[in-house]
């Protein structure tokens, strides 16, 4: 019984070895086929394939050469075209002048060169610190003052008009009669218009103010009185402006 078991185990091991060897052989054959087939397929490519590739490569267009630059315009007469040449600036060359020989027969006199002195004799001039003259000669160096002009007199204050009760009608030297308004005539309006006038030194009426009167008569009275001229009013030997009251009467039965 033990002999059969040992024999069975030995036969199993031998079978396993054979199976492993067979599988290894199959794998080697498969790998060889996978390596050989591509090499064989590359060698069986038809010869005309290289010619076809050459034809396609020959049909490629040639590269287009770049266009030439446009020609330069013709140069007009008398006009110079600057070139791209570098500008060369020459530095000036200083030449020491030679000594001019004296004319024949001329006497040569050597004059010693000493310290510089001005032609003015006397003590040195005044020192001017910060531009201000000082010293005994400062008064002589200052510019002469011209004649002083007196300042203009201050303007006289404006004279205030002197208020009086009324102006004498006899002082009127130019009189304009008022025009009776037609509307006032139709309305049968009459009466007196009282005005306050301001007369300047020359007797000219400067302003007219209405004190009282009918509205239909006021404008005619003011227009007439504003044109009147008076004799100047004299006070202490001088003409003075005055302010007074003037009455203008409008009467239909006049």
CATH at residue 204:
3.30.2420.10
pLDDT of residue 3: 46
pLDDT score at 161: 79
Q: Please give the tally of structural domains in the chain.
A: 2
pLDDT at 6: 45
Could you tell me the pLDDT band of residue 205, with boundaries at 50, 70 and 90? Answer: very high
**Residue after which a domain boundary falls, among 17, 39, 58:** 58
Strands (E), 76-217: 162-166, 172-174, 191-199, 205-212
Does residue 221 carry a pLDDT above 80? yes
Q: Is residue 84 part of a domain?
A: no
In a domain, residue 171? The reply is yes
Q: Tell me how crowded residue 189 is: count the other CB atoms within 10 A of its CB.
A: 16
Name the average pLDDT for the chain: 73
Model's pTM, two decimal places? Answer: 0.39
Residue 4: predicted pLDDT: 46
Residue 36 sits in which domain range? 1-58
Closest CA to 240 of 158, 155, 157, 161: 161
Name the residue with higher pLDDT: 176 or 108: 176
pLDDT tens per residue, range 223-254:
999 999 999 888 888 889 999 999 999 998 86
pLDDT tens-digit series, residues 27-71: 888 888 888 777 765 555 555 555 555 555 545 566 777 777 777
**pLDDT reported for residue 1:** 44
Residue 18 in any domain: the answer is yes
Query: Per the domain annotation, does 65 fall within a domain?
Result: no
Q: For the chain, what percent of residues have pLDDT higher than 70?
A: 56
- Specify the pLDDT at position 35: 83
Q: Count CA atoms within 13 Å of residue 27 on its CB side.
A: 6
Chosen domain end from 37, 58, 79:
58
pLDDT band at 98 (very low <50, low <70, confident <90, very high): low
- Pinpoint the alpha helices (H) of 135-199: 138-141, 182-186
8-state DSSP, 45: S
pLDDT band at residue 197 under the 50/70/90 scheme: very high
- Report for 10-19, 147-156, 164-173, 212-221: range of highest mean pLDDT: 212-221
């Amino acid at each position: 019984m033990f002999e059969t078991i040992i024999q069975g185990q030995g036969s199993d091991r031998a079978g396993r070895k054979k199976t492993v060897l067979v599988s290894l052989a199959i794998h080697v054959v498969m790998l060889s086929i996978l390596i050989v087939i591509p090499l064989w397929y590359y060698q069986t490519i038809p010869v005309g394939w290289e010619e076809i590739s050459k034809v396609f490569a020959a049909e490629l267009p040639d590269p287009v050469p770049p266009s030439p630059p446009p020609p330069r315009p013709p140069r007009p007469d008398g006009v110079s075209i600057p070139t791209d040449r570098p500008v060369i600036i020459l530095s000036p060359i200083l030449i020491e002048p030679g000594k001019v020989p004296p004319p024949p027969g001329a006497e040569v006199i050597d004059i010693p060169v000493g310290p510089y002195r001005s032609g003015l004799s006397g003590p040195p001039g005044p020192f001017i610190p910060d531009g201000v003259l000082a010293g005994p000669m400062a008064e002589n160096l200052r510019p002469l003052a011209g004649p002083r002009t007196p300042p203009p007199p201050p303007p006289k204050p404006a004279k205030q008009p002197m208020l009086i009760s009324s102006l004498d009608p006899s002082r009127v030297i130019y009189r304009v009669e008022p025009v009776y308004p037609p509307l006032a005539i139709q309305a049968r309006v009459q009466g007196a218009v009282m005005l306050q006038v301001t007369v300047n030194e020359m007797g000219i009426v400067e302003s007219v103010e209405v004190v009282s009167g009918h509205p239909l008569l006021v404008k005619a009275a003011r227009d007439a009185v504003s044109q009147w001229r008076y004799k100047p009013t004299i006070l202490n030997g001088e003409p003075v402006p005055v302010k007074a009251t003037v009455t203008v009467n409008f009467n239909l039965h006049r």
